[in-house]
Structure 1
Amino acid sequence: MITLILLLFIAAAATTVAGDDILPGQSLSAANPSSKWSSPNNTFSFSFIPNSQPQQNTFYAAVTYNGIPIWIAGGDSAVADSTATLTLLSDGNLRLVNGSTNHIVWQSNTANRGITKASLDDTGNFVLKNDTVSSIWATFDNPTDTIVPGQNFTTGNVLTSGLYSLKLMNSGNLTLRWNDSIVYWTLGLNSSVNTNLTSPTLGLQSIGILSLSDPNLPTSVIMAYSSDYAEGPDIFRFTKLDNDGNLRIYSSSSAGSQNVRWAAVSDQCQVFGYCGNLGICSYNGSNPVCGCPSQNFEPVDVRDTRQGCKRKVEIENCPGNATMLELDNAKFLTYPPELSSQVFFIGISACRLNCLVSGSCIASTSLSDGTGLCYLKVPSFVSGYQSPALPSTSYLKVCGPVSLNPTVGSNKSTRWKLRPWIVVVVVLATLFGLVIGEIGLWYWCCRNSPKLGVMSAQYALLEYASGAPVQFSYKDLQRATKGFKDKLGSGGFGAVYKGILANRTTAAVKQLEGIEQGEKQFRMEVATISSTHHLNLVRLIGFCSEGRHRLLVYEFMKNSSLDTFLFAPEEQLQSGKLLNWECRFNIALGTAKGITYLHEECRDCIVHCDIKPENILLDENYNAKVSDFGLAKLVNPKDHRYRTLTSVRGTRGYLAPEWLANLPITSKSDVYSYGMVLLEIVCGRRNFEVSEKTNRKKFSVWAYEEFDKGNIEAIIDNKVRNHEQMDMEQVRRVIQVSFWCIQEQPSQRPMMGKVVQMLEGVTEIEKPPAPKVSPGTIDGSVAGSSMNMTSTSVSTFAPSSSLQTPKGSSFASGMNVERVSSSLLHSDSV
């Protein structure tokens, strides 16, 4: 007995292979959960996983990433039992067999092809090889329902999931099909691509771009972006055809969670056959639900409404005449190749009657969009969609009489039962209105009472101390700012004034301009900003929203903004305003930590979109605090990555290249802006400044040349170098980080969390590549396009300064740039 247990233990251990070649005779067992073949870095594994469907004690043999299947032996139909084994046979065939019946579930059909071993590499590709280590068969060449980075999907490959499939056409078009016949979604090449393709290949880049390449294309063509494009260093992305017929891009962290970042079909009910034959797809909130057209039908499977419906009485068994069930705001999906043979130009009555009298027609749809089209459906497969937004009426042949689905409030007795509740609601609403009216009358009579003012101040103090955003009236803020007299500065989002609140707290009151959001959306965004708390972020105290008046109230920063210390001539600065290197480094590090919190530690990532010295404020101890975060979304509520160009705002010299190249805007755009600020903290001059000292070159380009020569002294601000001994190793580290941050490609820039580690010296820093001046830009500005530039003063919540713009600068401090174009990038919103 002991010997038998020992042999079983040895056998189990032998089936766990980590990064080594798998030899003929080795196998995996469904009965042994620990048996697996792993990649060298243990990221991917080949093992048996439980079937998530309600089939008891069944399994799939799959290659997985953190438990997420990326390839299944035989696809989702190859279900194995608990006695199954997957074995690499001596003839080179990889075979999945149910041990209880010796039934072959799946095999690779690679017998007698010289295969001597197999391996699972670090990309997730399982390969069968010969003695010369040539690949004879690989999972990447035989995909099931998933495409991962490094995998090439060609015209000879097919993704399948149930009745659904994805194919790549020779033309470069991607198509989703139902039952290998109905094409319900197509993604074609951009009209600007005018080339005959020879061997198109689809691939998913690790940063989340689905692209098409071909020998006849000079560069790969982007087909789709993941919404978290280029974000996160440890995110695994994959494209999967789900069993609901939709193609999606997923992101997964090391914890194994999955998040949808793109879907091919934005309206799930437009997927043909989603609710089965004769099923009707509709929405319950944002979730698609399946139901039957009327009570003349019943579900095929009450446990799974996606299996469709069936008539309770078939048409041929109808004792009387058939009739037509009318479905308002509904359509029966009609896609190629059905479209050509089933479309007619007739009116709504004829559309109904033609189907009723035709023995080959079971349903019809009449469009009310002005086209006059009528679609007739033959008895094969009918997929329905019903929504209040659909401009169409559909008819379905049934055996009469028609029995409609019940609707809420259609029964008279139900309405009578609800009446007592209605009375109760009306009475309570009336009492509530009287109470509110009495309170309003009392306030109107006593609003000028000194006692009431004291109570109001105490209440404001309690509300402020609670951390929740205080709602101020416009008159309160007029009083606090003395009629908006003491102006601190102005910027792209509006002017800022100094104010004294009722609790004697000094605050900065910002009058917002260009707000596009409604009352509810504005309050939601304010709630998001006010819930964002960090030592290096300016705190939002409260807000005002009265009609067209939209104001934000922030904590007051005594020492103004960073630009007043960096860019003024030395003779204009008092000795107390000469920032030493230690102070500058702490400001740089604090700013990085504040931006890191916005990008990586908030519940939702907040992209600032306007990082610059004017938006870095200093408190009484010269601690850095980032301001104006979240305001870009207040002014333009659409996603910053997909928007009309007329809504894009930024500041000259700090805009990342993707702003100007019509690419998605992500947190990496903030990293670029921070890199420019970091360089300015070292050098004490604007990054776009051009002078004789820089040989008329953009300062960042000149600074890299000096850094490459080892001449760091030339880069450092004279105001710092002349007043103290500096930690040159720390200075070198900061300069290197700045050059990494301003790389042209977002994928080359580090995440802000990594920036903090590099600044602190926790992570070693490699020598950065030279920064490039992007095509279409001249010293950081847009070339050949229309620009609206407005010179502004300090765009902060801090005291205004008398300092002037340094001589030699070609533009004033804090200059805003607005790109104007009529082209539309995307219409997607957050």
Structure 2
Amino acid sequence: MSAPFLFICLSLALSLSFSSLTPSTMRKGSSLSVEKSGDVLISADRIFSAGFYPVGDDAYCFAVWFSKALYDGSHSVVWMANRDQPVNGRYSKLSLLKTGNLILSDAGRLTLWATETTSASSVQLQLYNTANLVLHTLEGKILWQSFDSPTDTLLPQQLLTKDTILVSSRSQGGYSSGFYKLYFDDDNILRLRFDGLETSSIYWPKPWQRPAETGRSASNNSRTAVLDTYGRFKSSDDFQFSSVDLGMGPKRRMTIDADGNIRLYSLDERRRAWTISWQAISTPCVIHGICGANSLCSYTAETGRRCNCLPGHKMRNHTDWSYGCEPDFNLSCNNEEVVFVKFPHVEFYGYDIWYSRNQTLEWCEEICLQLCSCKGIQYKFSKDGYYLCYIKTQLLNGHRSLGFDNPMYIKLPRANLSSHDKTVQEVQLDCSRLVTVPLDRTYTKKHENVTVKFMLWFARGCGGIEIIGFLFVLYVLYRNREGSGVIEKGYLHIAMGFKRFTYAELKKASRNFSVEIGRGGSGVVYKGTLSDNRVAAIKCLSEASQGEAEFLAEVSTIGRLNHMNLIETWGYCAEGKHRLLVYEYMEHGSLAENLTSNTLDWKKRFEIALGTAKGLAYLHEECLEWVLHCDVKPQNILLDSNYHPKVADFGLSKLLNRGGIDNSSFSRIRGTRGYMAPEWVFNLPITSKVDVYSYGIVMLEMVTGRGPIGVQTMDDNGMMEQRRFVAWVREKMDGATENAPWIEEIVDRNMDGEYDKGKMELLVRVALQCADQQDKDARPTMSKVVEVLLGHENDDF
């Protein structure tokens, strides 16, 4: 094929591309049509688009979305005009009338949405770079803007006020209005509320706590909140948070999701995927209405959140848990025919008809038996030292948590109890029975011009032939280029982001596994150079008892995790008995190596503490998969060329023997001596607090320069004795005086006194709280550690 013809094809393609450029404004008397795919407004920076967005079969909403598609081809919608009343795919329009009113008409007949604005002067509709869709006069007077009527998303620079409410979608992946709302209440506090099919209740912040107890203030009645471009959110009630990737750069959106949680998302431009950089609630089962009435919400590492019906109950709607469960029996008022069934670690919040203090369980049961409407009792031991009795008329907001020590007693029929399993019944959603409800509208089909229709199809056919020819030319050129094999391999990683390597490839890349750079309980790590010249760390796992399908399922979990303080996984190998993982190579090795080489000053150490905490917080609370590390130690904290920390080996405990995980208990002890939490030794339930404990030990080691196994000190008789590491640090702190400051006695001598004393003391206190031996619940969450350290990150060093 000649070069001139190829040039003409390329010119034609470019001209078609540039001709499709759409301005960011729409003027009086013009309209956008649902039938014209090119009828969209595009912001000046081309980040956002506004137009008709498909939400179902022949159903569209006028929306604003991120112009670039995600990895799966979908777009992220940030606003909708008619989320609950989609328009038809024929003849529907958004029109800016000469009166200044912006209207959305369905099939050219029924007006479904309007701004109800008027203006005698010239007006235009403009999509700003902030994604704000603004109707304004040419003089700049704003008549209407989408930022004043958000749907489920708040964008940077968009105010949340007393007059605006974020409303969740009805389901994940859906667009119609759901049950959860973020709004300013009449007491000036920013709250989350569940507005269900039959009930309504506030669940965040904790409704039984006063504003001061949750760090809020009701004294300011301005009722405003905003997310800035750096990833900081501030509210007039003193609530605030920061994204884990704080700073300019990532595109962000704050959304109230269909499950009732608020999450801040940051866009990974390379992978074209959103990552969670903050969320309001880390325990999803405390969200009200999540499983409906007469059901229990529970959470496990393997399955995430799940809903189950109580004994003797069945699902009301097998396609939607919000309807809850209904009893499959008639409960008698005869005391002899009912019995109380105890459910440990179960709570049903709210809807108490009776409340009494300092009563026995028998008295509480007797009160319930006297009331036909009583369905159960919550019997709790208060922190004040007496028992509380709650009489329940409805069993709502039920959840099971090992952190809740008190039982729930549910009233069930004695006669039928033997026929019902006394355990909670697990029920799965039946997605095959989902039905689509058509809009209750009829349309009159307009007369179509047959000649025009034929010409349109002819033009489309010609255009299709030209496109096929153009693609064929590119294919021929691609096939004839030299080194096409290298190009194919290079672009495979760009397209997929996660590659499956052959064992031969990795053997060649590592020069027959000749350069060992690390070794641990889970395997040996070798340095290698991939075919695209990237330097990689190749880990050969020491256990290969899993089948390939199980291994791939686990690896896919690790491959989806993405955070700036987690080591990036580039690929894997599952071939025969070989199980290998391919990571990015870290130039400065592990924290353990650097602690002994005197390369870390105080500023680097503080940044390592903060970055490691961010990575662990993401694993515990922010990623969609719940991952415990189980082996946090200096050898598993790697440093890049700028000494920024990245946590390695995350998820490997789950990867190697996930079958051993059963209700937060493990089949064998995991971790490294000196860094292991007491729960491992005493066979207690394993939670994310084991990683918090290990983090505290690592931070103390980084501060002191001493290993965690023990500290040799001189006793009163002049003899050397071995002391527990944490106990030694705590004794130094507790025994400090003005003449004998404690921090100088424990700090690593390699820092030569060059450190910030105040922040050093803060880091030690946080580490000691993390390494609490007696009470794991007293240990903070990793997100709380991040919050404390972030408050001091930007201070002058």
Deviations 1:511-561 (A, max 9, x none): xxxxxxxxxxx645x76897898989797999999xxxxxxxxxxxxxxxx
Query: In the alignment, does 2:258 pair up with 1:243?
Result: yes
Contact 2:518-2:524 at 8 Å conserved across structures: no
How many residues align? The count is 493
- Tell me which of 121, 132, 138 is aligned to 1:125: 132
* Local SS of the residue matching 1:77: coil
Query: In the alignment, does 2:243 pair up with 1:202?
Result: no
Give the 3 Å change call, closer, same or farther, for CA 189–251 of structure 1 in structure 2.
Answer: farther
* Local SS of the residue matching 2:285: helix
Query: In the alignment, does 2:76 pair up with 1:68?
Result: yes
* Local SS of the residue matching 1:165: strand
Partners of 1:94 and 1:17 in 2: CA distance = 23
Give the 3 Å change call, closer, same or farther, for CA 350–543 of structure 1 in structure 2.
Answer: same
* Local SS of the residue matching 1:245: coil
Q: Name the structure 2 match of 1:280.
A: 296
Q: Spell out the pairing of 1:794-813 with structure 2 (5 A cutoff).
A: 811=752
Q: Spell out the pairing of 1:93-172 with structure 2 (5 A cutoff).
A: 93-99=101-107, 102-111=109-118, 116-161=123-168, 162-169=178-185
Q: Name the structure 2 match of 1:651.
A: 600
Partners of 1:164 and 1:146 in 2: CA distance = 13
Partners of 1:386 and 1:230 in 2: CA distance = 38
Partners of 2:191 and 2:756 in 1: CA distance = 47
Q: Name the structure 2 match of 1:384.
A: 398
Contact 2:50-2:65 at 8 Å conserved across structures: yes
* Local SS of the residue matching 1:207: coil
Q: Which amino acid aligns with 1:184?
A: Y
Q: Measure how far apart 1:398 and its partner are.
A: 4.6
Give the 3 Å change call, closer, same or farther, for CA 109–333 of structure 1 in structure 2.
Answer: farther
Deviations 1:70-94 (A, max 9, x none): 11114x4333343443333333333
Instruction: Report the structure number with the largest CA radius of gyration.
Output: 1
Q: Name the structure 2 match of 1:58.
A: 59
Q: Measure how far apart 1:359 and its partner are.
A: 3.1
Partners of 1:172 and 1:528 in 2: CA distance = 55
Q: Measure how far apart 1:303 and its partner are.
A: 2.2
Q: Name the structure 2 match of 1:828.
A: 782
- Tell me which of 90, 94, 115 is aligned to 2:98: 90
TM-score (norm 2): 0.51
Partners of 2:601 and 2:754 in 1: CA distance = 10
Contact 2:79-2:146 at 8 Å conserved across structures: yes
Q: Which amino acid aligns with 1:95?
A: I
Q: Name the structure 2 match of 1:173.
A: 189
Partners of 1:196 and 1:528 in 2: CA distance = 57
Partners of 1:91 and 1:39 in 2: CA distance = 25
Q: Name the structure 2 match of 1:183.
A: 202
Could you say which structure has the greater relative contact order, defined with CA pairs below 8 angstroms and 6 or more residues apart? 1
Give the 3 Å change call, closer, same or farther, for CA 536–820 of structure 1 in structure 2.
Answer: farther
Q: Measure how far apart 1:242 and its partner are.
A: 1.0
- Tell me which of 345, 349, 354 is aligned to 2:367: 354
Q: Measure how far apart 1:469 and its partner are.
A: 12
Q: Measure how far apart 1:139 and its partner are.
A: 1.1
Q: Measure how far apart 1:257 and its partner are.
A: 1.8
Q: Spell out the pairing of 1:749-788 with structure 2 (5 A cutoff).
A: 786-787=743-744, 788=746
Partners of 1:789 and 1:366 in 2: CA distance = 49
Partners of 1:468 and 1:374 in 2: CA distance = 70
Contact 2:524-2:540 at 8 Å conserved across structures: no
Partners of 2:612 and 2:141 in 1: CA distance = 40
Q: Which amino acid aligns with 1:631?
A: L
Deviations 1:35-89 (A, max 9, x none): 32221222111122232xxx64433321111421111114x43333434433333
Partners of 1:661 and 1:626 in 2: CA distance = 18
Give the 3 Å change call, closer, same or farther, for CA 237–184 of structure 1 in structure 2.
Answer: same
- Tell me which of 349, 372, 379 is aligned to 2:387: 372
- Tell me which of 36, 47, 51 is aligned to 1:47: 51
Give the 3 Å change call, closer, same or farther, for CA 816–304 of structure 1 in structure 2.
Answer: same
* Local SS of the residue matching 1:820: helix
Q: Measure how far apart 1:270 and its partner are.
A: 0.5
Q: Measure how far apart 1:313 and its partner are.
A: 3.9
Q: Which amino acid aligns with 2:130?
A: T
Give the 3 Å change call, closer, same or farther, for CA 95–351 of structure 1 in structure 2.
Answer: farther
Q: Name the structure 1 match of 2:591.
A: 631
Query: In the alignment, does 2:281 pair up with 1:265?
Result: yes
Give the 3 Å change call, closer, same or farther, for CA 93–325 of structure 1 in structure 2.
Answer: farther
Q: Spell out the pairing of 1:739-750 with structure 2 (5 A cutoff).
A: none
Q: Measure how far apart 1:406 and its partner are.
A: 8.1
Query: In the alignment, does 2:276 pair up with 1:253?
Result: no
Partners of 1:289 and 1:602 in 2: CA distance = 22
Give the 3 Å change call, closer, same or farther, for CA 820–58 of structure 1 in structure 2.
Answer: same
Partners of 1:397 and 1:25 in 2: CA distance = 66
Partners of 1:207 and 1:172 in 2: CA distance = 25
Q: Name the structure 2 match of 1:224.
A: 241
Please report the RMSD computed on the Cα atoms of aligned residues, expressed in angstroms: 5.4
Contact 1:791-1:815 at 8 Å conserved across structures: no
Q: Which amino acid aligns with 2:244?
A: S
Give the 3 Å change call, closer, same or farther, for CA 786–170 of structure 1 in structure 2.
Answer: farther
Q: Which amino acid aligns with 1:346?
A: Q
Q: Name the structure 2 match of 1:24.
A: 28
* Local SS of the residue matching 1:61: strand
Partners of 1:791 and 1:126 in 2: CA distance = 59
Q: Which amino acid aligns with 1:60?
A: C
Q: Spell out the pairing of 1:284-683 with structure 2 (5 A cutoff).
A: 284=300, 285-294=302-311, 296-313=312-329, 315=331, 321=337, 323-334=339-350, 342=355, 344-367=357-380, 372-379=387-394, 382-398=396-412, 401-402=416-417, 403-405=419-421, 467=510, 523=521, 605-606=564-565, 627-631=587-591, 651-652=600-601, 654-655=603-604
Partners of 1:366 and 1:173 in 2: CA distance = 30
Contact 2:262-2:280 at 8 Å conserved across structures: yes
Partners of 1:164 and 1:508 in 2: CA distance = 50
Q: Measure how far apart 1:258 and its partner are.
A: 1.9
Q: Extract unaligned runs of 5+ from structure 2.
A: 1-16, 68-74, 169-177, 427-505, 544-558, 568-584, 616-636, 645-740, 768-779, 787-797
TM-score (norm 1): 0.49
* Local SS of the residue matching 2:105: strand
Give the 3 Å change call, closer, same or farther, for CA 820–814 of structure 1 in structure 2.
Answer: closer
Contact 1:91-1:115 at 8 Å conserved across structures: no
Give the 3 Å change call, closer, same or farther, for CA 191–272 of structure 1 in structure 2.
Answer: closer
Give the 3 Å change call, closer, same or farther, for CA 651–190 of structure 1 in structure 2.
Answer: farther
Partners of 1:634 and 1:343 in 2: CA distance = 60
Q: Measure how far apart 1:509 and its partner are.
A: 9.4
Give the 3 Å change call, closer, same or farther, for CA 142–197 of structure 1 in structure 2.
Answer: same
Q: Extract unaligned runs of 5+ from structure 1.
A: 1-12, 215-220, 411-462, 471-502, 511-521, 546-599, 609-624, 636-648, 675-783, 793-809
Q: Which amino acid aligns with 2:39?
A: S
